[in-house]
């Protein structure tokens, strides 16, 4: 179990502290929802969690199989919707692997990406495609 302590600091700003490491981060409401957009919004953190989870899960598989994925990148495009209520509508992820790998390694890493815990935890109404480019 991991504990994260959050405090509301006023004016739609929060501070979160990851207890195991004491690392802190700040959030602000987005400009399109009464905030100033001065930091990650809570839904931005969901997008961030998805991209970093995909890369980390792929990295675990890569390490296990001796695959070098140094320089791999993830870009997540978050799209909000207001129907039927304000929520994340889409988290489209683009993974770029700087090197072209054997088909066996590509399949292994793509399979890993789709099993990342954050991706598996998303509500089925959230469209969350993952696209890959190699080399």
Q: How does pLDDT run across 10-24, given as a tens digit for each residue? A: 999 999 999 999 999
Domains of the chain, first to last: 4-33 (no CATH), 42-134 (3.30.300.20)
The b/e string for 91-109 (b: 16+ C-beta within 10 A; e otherwise) is bebebebeeebeeebeebb
The pLDDT confidence band at residue 53, using thresholds 50, 70 and 90, is very high
Answer whether 0.75 is exceeded by the pTM. yes
| Average confidence score pLDDT of the chain | 97
* pLDDT attached to residue 119: 98
User: Which whole-number Å values give the CA distances from 41 to 5, 11, 112, in the listed order?
Assistant: 17, 13, 27
* pLDDT attached to residue 35: 93
Q: How many CA atoms lie within 13 A of 83 on its CB side?
A: 0
Mean pLDDT for the stretch of residues 87-95: 98
* pLDDT attached to residue 29: 96
* pLDDT attached to residue 62: 97
Indicate the pairing of strand 87-97 with strand 23-28: unpaired
> How many Å apart are CA 77 and CA 95, to the nearest integer?
12
Terminal-residue alpha carbon distance, the chain: 38
* pLDDT attached to residue 26: 97
The pLDDT confidence band at residue 71, using thresholds 50, 70 and 90, is very high
Tokens of 63: 């390490």
């Amino acid at each position: 179990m991991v504990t994260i302590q959050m405090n509301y600091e006023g004016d739609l700003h929060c501070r979160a502290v990851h207890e195991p490491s004491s690392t802190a981060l700040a959030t602000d409401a987005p400009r399109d929802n009464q905030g100033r957009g001065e930091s990650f919004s809570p839904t931005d953190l969901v997008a961030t969690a998805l991209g970093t989870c995909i890369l980390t899960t792929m990295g675990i598989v890569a390490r296990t199989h001796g695959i070098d994925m140094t320089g791999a990148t993830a870009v997540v495009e978050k799209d909000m919707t207001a129907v039927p209520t304000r929520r994340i509508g889409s988290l489209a992820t683009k993974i770029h692997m700087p090197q072209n790998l054997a088909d066996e390694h590509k399949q292994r890493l793509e399979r890993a990406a789709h099993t990342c815990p954050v991706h598996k935890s998303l509500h089925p109404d959230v469209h969350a495609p993952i696209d890959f480019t190699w080399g």
